[in-house]
Amino acid sequence: MRNHRGVIAEHYHALQSLDSINSARAAMAAEPGTRSALLIGLYQSVEIGLHNVAQLLDRAAGCLRDRDIAACAVDLYWVRSFHRVLVRLSLAARRVSAGWDDEAPRWTVDATPAFADFLGSLRSFDGELAHLADQPEIDLGAVIAERTLDDAWFGVLHCARTANHDARVWSANLAASVRPAPGLAPEQLLASDLVRQAVFEHQLRGHTYFTQFRALHQIPELLVREINDRVEMAIRSARVGDITAAVDVLDGAEELFDPIEACLPPIVDNLSTHDYHQIRENLGLTSGSHSVSLRFHLFTELYEQLIEAIAGRTAADGDHPLMPRLRRHAVNLNVFIFSWRDMHLHLPRNNLGGAETKSLTGSQDAVRTVRKMRDNAASNDPVARMEKRVQVPSSAVGPLVEYLDGPESSDGLLLTETGKVTQANFRDVQERLNVFSQPCPFSRPPRRVV
């Protein structure tokens, strides 16, 4: 099925090019659970980020040529946010690299295909900006001196200078990080062709943020695979009483929480309702809730089994000196999962709205559904059962809930207005017509039992 922009996705796996993501991970020259695997996943994520920045910079340069400064500013807001993700990836790489000795060769980030792509695009953008700076129509000094956030030219210059500094930071961090399997060329180590294919496999016509929407799913999808393999190893180790091994693999898994969380703010902050609506029909009957690795493996099945194994070990081996660290890992995983869910809630709120707005997959009220998924998980949380002091608060309680849900707050008003806009733009989704009259093709995957 197609619309005027291109293909309407058949399912989440295809939408996010998870075959390419899986192949890129399978091509890794390191076993899951090793420090090299952590670094390769981080560097592959950097490749995804750089291809996206390159695409955005090319478009931003085109906007400058066309003197569409407002559109250029929007592209650069996204660029700025992707640089923040790159910084966070590079910090994780530095932390992981601390496990090697000083002599270990360092990562040649500037020798990867995505870096070359990015640098070429940065050069063209800078050339375009420098050319404009020479024209009488714009006085960059006056923009910096006199304008502020309400002005598109200010947005362009402010994002460009912020992105330049962040680029200096992440590139230096990565160049100071370790190079795993130094005998392999960077593009072989990263399976760069497969990463590139994941980024560009699906394209839509027009000026949309579809590639970026996909990237901000693809990076978490890639990194969570390593987390899941490690949690599985930790479960096995904890069950047989090898607490040292369990702590060790979870130490590594934890390094990837921060980069995954870092992928939400770019989409929360930059994706306007309008821009999401430009690509919504092409998402078809899909949802992030069809992410087998995030929702089912990590958030549910492996999480429950890990906590069960830790609780069992506590009963059997409570005096082991590493037991407090193992239990700490359980709490950290709990905090990660729920902070991710809380941040993710912005997305249905901002892009779909309330007032019984249906999700693509047909949930009666998308925002209520996502809240319910979070709150049900919170009320059945295995860590909260094990550690009575770690209760996950329900989203329906707290000192501000009464005000925020009451008539004086702007919250209900904005949710309702957003919902009305969404329903008006997507009658087919709301009334389950045409593509959306079909049953959702997704069914619950077999449980990942360790």
CB 32 within 8 A of CB 230: yes
Tell me the DSSP string of 45-84.
HHHHHHHHHHHHHHHHHHHHHTT-HHHHHHHHHHHHHHHH
CB 155 within 8 A of CB 73: yes
Determine the size of the site formed for ligand HEM (CB under 6 A).
27
CB 243 within 8 A of CB 317: yes
Q: How far apart are CA 123 and CA 121, in angstroms?
A: 5
Q: How far apart are CA 88 and CA 75, in angstroms?
A: 20
Pick one of 61, 157, 216, 415: the residue that binds ligand HEM (CB under 6 A).
216
Is the CB of 23 or the CB of 395 nearer to ligand HEM?
A: 395
Closest approach of Cβ 424 to ligand HEM, in Å? 17
Q: Is the dihedral of CA 27, 290, 338, 351 positive or negative?
A: positive
Q: Of residues 149-188, which lie at the interface with ligand HEM (CB under 6 A)?
A: none
Is the CB of 129 or the CB of 271 nearer to ligand HEM?
A: 271
Is the CB of 17 or the CB of 287 nearer to ligand HEM?
A: 287
Q: Residue written as tokens 């069960």?
A: 308
Is the CB of 175 or the CB of 373 nearer to ligand HEM?
A: 373
Pick one of 48, 347, 383, 429: the residue that binds ligand HEM (CB under 6 A).
347
Pick one of 63, 178, 352, 392: the residue that binds ligand HEM (CB under 6 A).
352
Among 54, 41, 48, smallest CA distance to 196 is for: 48
Residue 341 contacts ligand HEM per CB under 6 A: yes
Residue spans of beta strands (DSSP E) within 198-269? none
Q: How far apart are CA 117 and CA 274, in angstroms?
A: 29
Q: Which residues pair with 7 in a beta bridge?
A: 2
Q: Of the ranges 20-28, 178-186, 339-347, 429-437, which one interacts with ligand HEM (CB under 6 A)?
A: 339-347
Among 383, 428, 403, 84, smallest CA distance to 258 is for: 84
Is the CB of 177 or the CB of 369 nearer to ligand HEM?
A: 369
When CB distances to ligand HEM are compared, the closest residue is 288
Residue 220 contacts ligand HEM per CB under 6 A: yes
Q: Of residues 353-372, which lie at the interface with ligand HEM (CB under 6 A)?
A: 359, 361, 363, 366, 369-370
Closest approach of Cβ 300 to ligand HEM, in Å? 7
Q: Which are the contacts of 248, defined by CB distance < 8 A and separation ≥ 6?
A: none
Is the CB of 251 or the CB of 269 nearer to ligand HEM?
A: 269
Closest approach of Cβ 386 to ligand HEM, in Å? 20
Q: How far apart are CA 100 and CA 97, in angstroms?
A: 6
Among 257, 283, 434, smallest CA distance to 348 is for: 283
Closest approach of Cβ 360 to ligand HEM, in Å? 6
Pick one of 29, 373, 390, 435: the residue that binds ligand HEM (CB under 6 A).
373
Q: Of residues 246-275, which lie at the interface with ligand HEM (CB under 6 A)?
A: 267, 271
Q: Residue written as tokens 């999808």?
A: 221
Among 191, 257, 251, smallest CA distance to 223 is for: 257
Is the CB of 174 or the CB of 215 nearer to ligand HEM?
A: 215
Q: Which residues pair with 3 in a beta bridge?
A: 6
- Joined together, the tokens standing for residue 412 give 């209900």
Closest approach of Cβ 188 to ligand HEM, in Å? 28
Residue 344 contacts ligand HEM per CB under 6 A: yes
What is the contact mask toward ligand HEM in residues 280 to 319, using x (rule: CB under 6 A)?
A: -------xxx-x--xx---x--------------------
CA distances from 285 to 124, 288, 433, 435 (A): 38, 11, 12, 8
Is the CB of 188 or the CB of 364 nearer to ligand HEM?
A: 364
Is the CB of 197 or the CB of 300 nearer to ligand HEM?
A: 300
Summarize as ranges the residues that interact with ligand HEM (CB under 6 A).
Answer: 216-217, 220, 267, 271, 276, 287-289, 291, 294-295, 299, 341, 344, 347-348, 351-352, 359, 361, 363, 366, 369-370, 373-374
